[in-house]
């Protein structure tokens, strides 16, 4: 717990909760019309975000990242303050010196590893991990984190087992072969993922999404298919959701928020082969306050949202504050209108008494 934390966090008798302004350490902003519509939903509450590079074409080079950052800042509404923390998409053709230069300039904060075919726009990802060994070695030298989508794509492996198998087959061997490599296990969804991250050293961390603290696989499949709860990695059994809740609310420095808020227009979600992703940017803080209160851990919400991720990435905590108030249920829109079509907001399935003032 950082020195002076009591002056930053307070829960008063009037049911208000004041936190340092949070960071989202895993966010999809897309591009074009979608970017213009969803960026304000994150910038309203979050000071910074680790922005995912899986555009089409992907953000592979420093030049790509600089151009994408410029588009994000150009889309930011006047009066809003938000810092996009840029990432590069790891491919088997990635130039380690371009990566190092992008990091040295302050532009790029991480490199993202997508196993080819694992999720949305991952077709340019890595098929043979030996082919990126030289990039990982260079990243370890300069202290640049690797953000990992942790699933194998072997069709023989059940989709509900792909995260646990990835840890054994891919992640642990990579970390053993590349000492000092800083790794973020993105959007963990399993008891095994939480245990592996929790037992690691200070080079290992894990993000946890808002929606994986709320839903299990029954929410997607029981009583009919609910496409707006479908995401990758897919939600797992209830025991895994409970393990994630324990990790998120533990106060442990290695766990922090990465919403993986992933907007798709409804016509691509409600489809015979619908897109994976839950859009949570708008109501994440209300949901998290509800979850942490249920777990008796409101005093640990600020480390999870505002301190742990910044510390892992070597960033100072944000100087600003936000205040949430508990009262009548918050009114959130069912959908966000975008130039690419309406996007459905994640529905946690319960009233949200906490809202950001």
pLDDT at 8 over 70: no
What are the structure tokens assigned to 176, written together?
């053993």
Q: Give me the chain's average pLDDT, please.
A: 94
Task: Please give the pLDDT value at position 164.
Answer: 97
Task: Please give the pLDDT value at position 243.
Answer: 98
Name the band, by pLDDT with cuts 50, 70 and 90, for residue 14. low
Measured CA to CA, the distance from residue 299 to residue 303 in angstroms comes to 8
| 152 and 115 Cβ atoms separated by less than 8 Å | yes
pLDDT at 249 over 60: yes
Of the candidates 260, 266, 337, 347, the residue annotated as catalytic is 260
Task: Please give the pLDDT value at position 321.
Answer: 97
Task: Please give the pLDDT value at position 1.
Answer: 37
Task: Please give the pLDDT value at position 354.
Answer: 97
Q: Which has the closest alpha carbon to 26: 59, 53, 3?
A: 53
In the predicted model, what is the mean pLDDT of residues 67-79? 97
In the predicted model, what is the mean pLDDT of residues 288-302? 97
Per-residue pLDDT tens over the stretch 141-198: 999 999 999 999 999 999 999 999 999 999 999 999 999 999 999 999 999 999 999 9
In the predicted model, what is the mean pLDDT of residues 330-357? 97
In the predicted model, what is the mean pLDDT of residues 321-346? 96
In the predicted model, what is the mean pLDDT of residues 192-209? 97
Phi and psi, residue 248, nearest 5°: -60, -40
| 270 and 226 Cβ atoms separated by less than 8 Å | no
Measured CA to CA, the distance from residue 270 to residue 313 in angstroms comes to 36
Homologous superfamily (CATH) for 19-214+233-261+279-322: Metal-dependent hydrolases (3.20.20.140)
Residue in the block written with tokens 């996007």: 343
What are the structure tokens assigned to 336, written together?
């966000």
**Would you tell me the crossing angle of helices 238-248 and 191-198 to the nearest 10 degrees?**
30
Task: Please give the pLDDT value at position 117.
Answer: 77
pLDDT above 90 covers what percent of the chain?
Answer: 92
pLDDT above 70 covers what percent of the chain?
Answer: 96
pLDDT at 34 over 90: yes
Looking at residue 329, the DSSP 8-state letter turns out to be: P
Buried b (16+ CB within 10 A) or exposed e, 300-330: bbbbbbbbbbbbbbeeebbeeebebbbeeeb
| 50 and 109 Cβ atoms separated by less than 8 Å | yes
| 191 and 163 Cβ atoms separated by less than 8 Å | no
Cis peptide preceding 127, ω within 30 of 0:
no
Task: Please give the pLDDT value at position 10.
Answer: 52
In whole angstroms, how far apart are CA 220 and each of 30, 131, 271, 345, 347?
Answer: 24, 36, 14, 15, 12
| 135 and 90 Cβ atoms separated by less than 8 Å | yes
Name the band, by pLDDT with cuts 50, 70 and 90, for residue 3. very low
Name the band, by pLDDT with cuts 50, 70 and 90, for residue 11. low
In the predicted model, what is the mean pLDDT of residues 341-354? 97
Domain boundaries, the chain: 19-214+233-261+279-322
260 is catalytic: yes
Per-residue pLDDT tens over the stretch 86-110: 999 999 999 999 999 999 999 999 9
CA 215 to chain centroid, in Å, comes to 16
């Amino acid at each position: 717990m950082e020195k002076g934390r009591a002056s930053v966090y307070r829960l008063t008798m009037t049911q208000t909760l004041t936190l340092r302004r949070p960071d989202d350490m895993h966010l999809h902003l897309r591009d074009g019309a979608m970017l213009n519509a969803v960026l304000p939903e994150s910038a309203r509450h979050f000071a910074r975000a680790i922005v995912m590079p899986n555009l089409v074409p992907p953000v592979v080079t420093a030049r790509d990242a600089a151009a994408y950052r410029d588009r994000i800042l150009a889309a930011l509404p006047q009066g809003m303050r938000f810092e996009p923390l840029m990432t590069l998409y790891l491919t088997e053709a990635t130039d380690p010196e371009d990566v190092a230069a992008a990091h040295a300039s302050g532009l790029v904060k991480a490199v993202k590893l997508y196993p080819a075919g694992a999720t949305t726009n991952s077709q340019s990802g890595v098929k043979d991990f030996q082919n990126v060994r030289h990039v990982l070695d260079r990243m370890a030298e300069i202290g640049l984190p690797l953000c990992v989508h942790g699933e194998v794509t072997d069709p023989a492996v059940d989709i509900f087992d792909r995260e646990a198998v990835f840890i054994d087959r891919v992640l642990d061997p990579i970390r053993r072969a590349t000492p000092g490599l800083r790794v973020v296990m993105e959007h963990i969804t399993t008891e095994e993922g939480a245990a592996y991250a929790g037992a690691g050293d200070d080079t290992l961390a894990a993000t946890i999404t808002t929606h994986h603290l709320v839903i299990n696989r029954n929410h997607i499949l029981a009583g009919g298919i609910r496409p707006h709860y479908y995401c990758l990695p897919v939600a797992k059994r209830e025991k895994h959701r409970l393990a994630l809740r324990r990790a998120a609310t533990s106060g442990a420095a290695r766990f922090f928020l990465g919403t993986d808020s992933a907007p798709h227009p409804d016509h691509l979600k409600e489809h015979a082969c619908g897109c994976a992703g839950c859009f949570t940017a708008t109501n994440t803080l209300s949901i998290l306050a509800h979850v942490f209160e249920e777990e008796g851990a409101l005093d640990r919400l600020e480390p999870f949202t505002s301190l742990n991720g910044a510390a892992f990435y070597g960033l100072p905590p944000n100087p600003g504050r936000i205040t949430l108030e508990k009262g009548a249920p918050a009114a959130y829109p069912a959908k966000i209108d975008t130039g690419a079509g309406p996007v459905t907001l994640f529905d946690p399935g319960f009233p949200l008494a906490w809202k950001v003032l």
